[in-house]
Amino acid sequence: MPDPEAAGEGEQEENAPAAEREAAPAAGKPSPEAGPKGAPIHPDKTILIVEDDLDTADSLKVKLEANGYSVITIYDGLQALETARRIRPALIVLDVMVPGLMGYHICRLLKFDERYRDIPIIILTGKVDKSSREISTKAGADLYMTKPFELNDLLEEVRKFVG
Amino acid sequence: MTEDNKKHFVEAQKMPLLLEMTRKLYLSLNIEDVVKQVMNLAMQLVDADGGSIMLVDRKSKKLTINRAVRLDDQFAAQAMKIGERVSGWVADQKIPVILHGKLEDNPQFSALEGRSDVRSSMCVPLKINDTVVGVVNLNRMMDGEMPEFNQADLRVAVTFARYCAAALQNARLCETLMSRNKSLTEQARGQSIWLAELCHELNTPVTAIKNYLANILDGDLGEVPEEIKERLVRMGEQVNRAVVFIDELRTETDRELNYEEINLQLLIEGALRSIEIWTEEKEVKVAIDIEKNLPKVRADRAKIEQVLVNLLRNAVRFSEKGSGLTVSASAGDEEIQFSVMDDGSGIPPEAVEMIFEQFYRADDDAADDVPGRGLGLAISKKIVEQHGGRIWAESEVGKGSRFHFTLPVRSRGSKEQ
């Protein structure tokens, strides 16, 4: 019996270079490749950040990299789903409003798929939607945080999930 | 009984009918309804078997037929200029006419050709003050049994027209008011939605600024000289002021309440936890005095906690370093009263009245380092009143302030459930 996951990965491998390009920080954005505190101490622990506001994404990347994590940032929902499936990150930080595919949907698609359901997902939402907690829970998110949040609070949560 | 007396008798008999009809007419606040009733009533009153009501269109200034009985479609569709034909003449001259036989027999209408199926007709202006808003045409047809209209009929019609015009005016005003009210409500809702979206949008830049500040201050991007760090810390405080303000605005737009049964002890403890940074900073000693066995209330937990936090934050804000503060909750028969008491500077009597108004801010330097823009108490008032409670303050300069609010034990929420 063919391994569906292996087949899927094979297909997606072809898209990889494009995805990586997208994931690179936009030109002119102050985003170092690694934090000044040195090389990742958890090179095997990659955090996927899905956030369409480039600066918010960058600030998360800086914070997490400074604390030893490898980080990939993606600004588009469809690419985020594809990348998550391909690289199986240690954790996903997911903004609700990303172009292409809403954060909730990405979360649902991963959490209701037994191959990916153990990847922890932190959803970031605006405060307006009262229902965001409910929807995040329904979509299977492990945690949701409302914007604006304290960056160090997020770091704490990441540590709890990833170590 | 003489012929004249007989006429008066008939007229007098019609008066109760006239009054009852008019009363009904006044109850109607929809123009179409009024016009329909006027037509029916007028015909009954003067035993007419046909007629029409024409109203002056406010835009074109022409008379247009709003309702007609036994009128050819080709006439019914026509709009008539003021001064044109019989109706136009009546609208222009503001005087009623009775017409029998051929139109040509009347000098002012000698050029007009009348309807051959009409035996006798009356045309009466509908006047409000001295302005004509329309005319009522009443006809007795050739094929009917009634003889020609007489002066008594005309008097009845004129009297009736006076009331009709007033009822019509009522309905017009009412429709104008209702449509204005509707558009204002829509406008307010639109603004509220717009404001909510704006607050939502503001979260994005604010998050990015806060996060970058944290990156720099935490040294994620390398060491930062102390004097720069100091300014960045203050920058962060300013951003936090903006965050509080955005949050207050957002709550302002969020009017729906989420009722749930709330545990008051936990609620108060939660509120106290969220002001801990301020109480610790000012070394304010907090005393809690919650009556035992308080009845449960149904309320929007987050919003009531917000009210408590607002009151507590204000109390700390105006407290001297190291002073005391008391939070209490006690139950009456119908409501639970919450109180926040401080030993602070107090509020002058003239200000106590105003503090719950939007954008009122105490003219006090001590308060300048505290986030918020004077929306807190206004929002608290709104929230408490939304729950069916009351909020008020008592204060004396130099003797501290006491803020109270109540929540009904049987809240509106429990009825809804």
Chain B segment 172-211 residues within 8 A of A by beta carbon are 196-197, 199-200, 203-204, 206-208, 210-211
Q: Is the peptide bond before B408 cis (omega within 30 degrees of 0)?
A: no
Q: For position A23, what pLDDT does the model report?
A: 42
Q: Which of B258, B265, B374 is nearest to B313 (CA)?
A: B374
Residue A36 has pLDDT above 50, yes or no: no
Measured distance CA(B408)–CA(B417) in Å, rounded: 15
Q: For position B70, what pLDDT does the model report?
A: 82
Cross-chain Cβ contact A63/B214 below 8 Å:
yes
pLDDT band, residue A29 (cuts 50/70/90): very low
Average confidence (pLDDT) over A103-120: 91
Judge whether B387 and B406 are in contact, CB under 8 Å.
no
Three-state DSSP string of B292-328: CCCCCEEEEHHHHHHHHHHHHHHHHHCCCCCCEEEEE
Q: Which residues are B326's β-sheet partners?
A: B287, B341
Sign of CA dihedral B168, B172, B174, B178: positive
Across the beta sheet with B324-331, the strand order is: B285-290, B324-331, B335-342, B401-408, B391-395
Q: How far away is chain A from the Cα of B247, in angstroms, using its nearest Cα?
A: 8
Q: For position B76, what pLDDT does the model report?
A: 67
Count of alpha carbons within 13 angstroms of residue B358, beta-carbon side: 6
Hey, is the C-beta of B108 within 8 angstroms of any chain A C-beta? no
Q: Which residue has the higher pLDDT, A117 or B101?
A: A117
- The continuous run of DSSP H or E covering A12 comes out as helix A4-13
Average confidence (pLDDT) over B154-164: 89
Measured distance CA(B239)–CA(B205) in Å, rounded: 10
Q: For position B16, what pLDDT does the model report?
A: 77
Measured distance CA(A77)–CA(A97) in Å, rounded: 9
Residue B134 has pLDDT above 80, yes or no: yes
In chain A, count H helices and then E strands: 7, 5
Cross-chain Cβ contact B210/A148 below 8 Å:
yes
Residue A19 has pLDDT above 60, yes or no: no
Q: Which residues are B300's β-sheet partners?
A: B259
Q: How far is it between the farthest Cα atoms of chain A?
A: 49
pLDDT band, residue B178 (cuts 50/70/90): confident
Chain B segment 229-288 residues within 8 A of A by beta carbon are 243, 247, 250, 254, 256, 258
- The continuous run of DSSP H or E covering B188 comes out as helix B151-217
Q: For position B220, what pLDDT does the model report?
A: 93
Cross-chain Cβ contact A62/B221 below 8 Å:
yes
CA geometry: angle B110, B111, B113, nearest 5 deg: 95
**A25: its two tokens:** 């920080």
Measured distance CA(A74)–CA(A94) in Å, rounded: 10
Query: A53-65, pLDDT tens digit by residue?
Result: 999 999 999 999 9
Residue B204 makes CB contacts below 8 A (sequence gap 6+) with A53, A56, A147
CA geometry: angle B329, B335, B339, nearest 5 deg: 30
Judge whether A87 and A98 are in contact, CB under 8 Å.
no
Residues of chain B with pLDDT > 70, as a percent, come to 88
Residues of chain A with pLDDT > 90, as a percent, come to 48
Average confidence (pLDDT) over B77-96: 87
Sign of CA dihedral B363, B364, B365, B369: negative
Q: For position B294, what pLDDT does the model report?
A: 82
Judge whether B38 and B22 are in contact, CB under 8 Å.
no
Measured distance CA(A47)–CA(A71) in Å, rounded: 5
